[in-house]
């Protein structure tokens, strides 16, 4: 199974990147996490540019990467109470053309890390909402990592608190089960 991983952060040293790295460490064999890291190359969605076939190459690359994946896993910070604009832009590009959208029917899950207390719960809720409206089959569940600057192990790719690490593993198990159920049901 190929899981495409998308971080909503462009920041070097991003806690959400670290969360994806921690996820990659514990995924079972047979599940490959593939990062898509060209978010900063995406302009805001423009229907005129899209319909004229003039979108930058990163758009086609994103759509192909999503189409080639069995599932999508997003790790997102929260910006001003919602998901970062760059991540929303990626969802917008991947939601069109409507009838043949890369996201259509794709199992998707979200998790989130912030330096604040609440672990990007609003960003995760909004990301799920946008993904669902875009046609993805969304796992309706959060993984909030608050105070992310203290949350990760200093030297290993995992969360420092064993309970939080267990919550990550539980979240990933639920995500993989969701992805497999969709595959078993014959959803493309």
Residues at the interface with ligand FMN (CB under 6 A): 9, 11, 14-16, 77-81, 113-116, 118, 148
**Residue 61, Cα to own-chain centre: how many angstroms?**
16
Q: Which DSSP category does 13 fall into?
A: T
CB nearer to ligand FMN: pick between 132 and 146:
146
CB nearer to ligand FMN: pick between 81 and 188:
81
Please classify residue 149 by burial: count the beta carbons closer than 10 Å to its beta carbon, then call 0-12 exposed, 13-18 middle and 19+ buried: exposed
- In whole angstroms, the minimum distance from the beta carbon of 87 to ligand FMN comes to 11
- In whole angstroms, the minimum distance from the beta carbon of 159 to ligand FMN comes to 14
- In whole angstroms, the minimum distance from the beta carbon of 96 to ligand FMN comes to 27
CB nearer to ligand FMN: pick between 114 and 165:
114
What CA–CA distance (Å, rounded) separates 155 from 47? 45
CB nearer to ligand FMN: pick between 23 and 102:
23
- In whole angstroms, the minimum distance from the beta carbon of 61 to ligand FMN comes to 22
- In whole angstroms, the minimum distance from the beta carbon of 48 to ligand FMN comes to 28
CB nearer to ligand FMN: pick between 75 and 139:
75
85-94 vs 57-67: helix axis angle to the nearest 10?
70
Backbone angles phi, psi at 180, to 5 degrees: -70, -35
13: region left, alpha or beta (phi > 0 left; psi from -120 to 50 alpha): left
């Amino acid at each position: 199974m190929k899981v495409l991983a998308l971080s909503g952060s462009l920041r070097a040293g991003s806690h959400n990147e670290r969360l994806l790295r921690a996820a990659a460490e514990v995924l079972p064999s047979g599940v490959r996490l593939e990062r898509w890291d060209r978010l900063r190359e995406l302009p805001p969605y423009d229907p005129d540019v899209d319909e004229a076939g003039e979108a930058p190459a990163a758009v086609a690359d994103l759509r192909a990467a999503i189409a080639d994946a069995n599932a999508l896993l997003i790790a997102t910070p929260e910006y001003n109470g919602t998901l970062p604009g760059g991540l929303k832009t990626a969802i917008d590009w991947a939601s069109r053309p409507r009838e043949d959208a890369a996201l259509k029917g794709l199992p998707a899950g979200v998790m989130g890390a912030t330096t604040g207390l609440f672990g990007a719960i609003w960003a995760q809720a909004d990301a799920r909402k946008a993904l669902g409206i875009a046609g993805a089959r969304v796992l309706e569940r959060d993984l909030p990592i608050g105070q992310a600057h203290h949350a990760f192990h200093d030297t290993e790719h995992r969360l420092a608190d064993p309970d939080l690490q267990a919550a990550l593993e539980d979240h990933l198990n639920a995500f993989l089960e969701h992805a497999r159920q969709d595959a078993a049901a014959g959803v493309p």
